[in-house]
Amino acid sequence: MNLPDDFVFSQSSLQDYVDCPRRFQLKYLQRQRWPAPEVDDMLEFERRMEQGEIFHHLVHQHLVGIPADVLAGRLTDPDVQRWFAAYVKNGLSDAPAKRRPESTLTVPLGDYLLLAKFDLLAVEPDGRALILDWKTGQHIPRADNLLRRLQTIVYRYVLATGGNHLNGGKPIPPERIEMIYWYADHDGATLRFPYDSAQFAADNAYLTQLVEDINTRPEFPLTDDERRCRFCVYRSLNNRGTEAGSLTDWDENAELSLDIDDLNLDLQQIAEIEF
């Protein structure tokens, strides 16, 4: 068995495994730290990450009751001002009134746990159950790529598996669940992913098999897709180059699962799981 008994999976760790088994091994099993930048322009990269964090925090403050005009009056960053104006205009237009910002749910996955931290859950008793995820990146990925991402798979699965305590003790039928990615930099454009029982059963089989593979495989090979290595901190450790990929390419390579909001989330989840 490769995994420690108390291992907690997240969409990020599973995505890392699917993208590159060696990255999963280095990051989560060996906890290898490696001082390399993800992209060439780290100052700009960190600025965008910070903008994303500010926006997520702002929306959270609004959802817990601070008036939008009070929050907007404190903003100085023009991008965040524009994103927040878009959020106020249409960010919640589809969400049922019972809203739970920044909710965390943990469900069993095989002998382990699977954690999801949602930007917003809006669950109507016996009505719809929406998962809203705020995105502040500059590019909207293709819907077929997003459908295959572990975030889409894990979030809907976790809510269908563990949403009963948000729903008066009754499970939430998959047919009531929808995941919506909301793009702040595109005036609140959305990509929407409904769910159903057949997909839930398929996701259960897929996730269970992933965990079994991780736990029993004798080796964790390097990915064959070397494009991924350009944005991976372990590239010099693995003799996959020393130069970080460009931030522009990062933005344009959404199909490589590069997402600045996810990186923030990844760091937060690792911190939560560790401490």
| Residue position matching structure tokens 């205009």 | 89
Work out whether 230 is an interface residue with ligand SF4 (CB under 6 A). no
Q: How far apart are CA 181 and CA 118, in angstroms?
A: 11
Site string for ligand SF4, 155-174 (x = CB under 6 A): --------------------
Helix (H) or strand (E) holding 164: none
114 bridge partner residues: 9, 107
Q: Among 116, 172, 229, 260, indicate the residue that binds ligand SF4 (CB under 6 A).
A: 229
Q: What is the DSSP letter of 149?
A: S
Examine residue 18 and tell whether it contacts ligand SF4 (CB under 6 A).
Answer: no
Question: CB 216: neighbour CB atoms within 10 A?
Answer: 10
**Shortest reach from residue 129's CB to ligand SF4, in Å:** 35
- The residue assigned the tokens 């907690």 is 8
Let me know: does 250 contact 228? Beta carbons within 8 Å.
no
Q: Out of 222, 263, 270, 273, name the contact with ligand SF4 by CB under 6 A.
A: 222
Strands 129-135 and 8-10: unpaired
Question: Would you say 23 or 156 has its CB closer to ligand SF4?
Answer: 23
> Exactly one of 223, 246, 253, 268 binds ligand SF4 (CB under 6 A); which one?
223
Among 8, 9, 17, 20, binds ligand SF4 (CB under 6 A): 20
Q: Given candidates 234, 247, 258, 259, which one binds ligand SF4 under the rule CB under 6 A?
A: 234
**What values do phi and psi take at 44, rounded to 5?**
-70, -40
| Residue closer to ligand SF4 (CB basis): 112 or 220 | 220
Residue 253 in the binding site for ligand SF4 (CB under 6 A): no
Q: Residues 228, 175: contact at Cβ < 8 Å?
A: no
Interface contacts to ligand SF4, rule CB under 6 A: 20, 22-23, 26, 222-223, 228-229, 232, 234-235, 238, 240
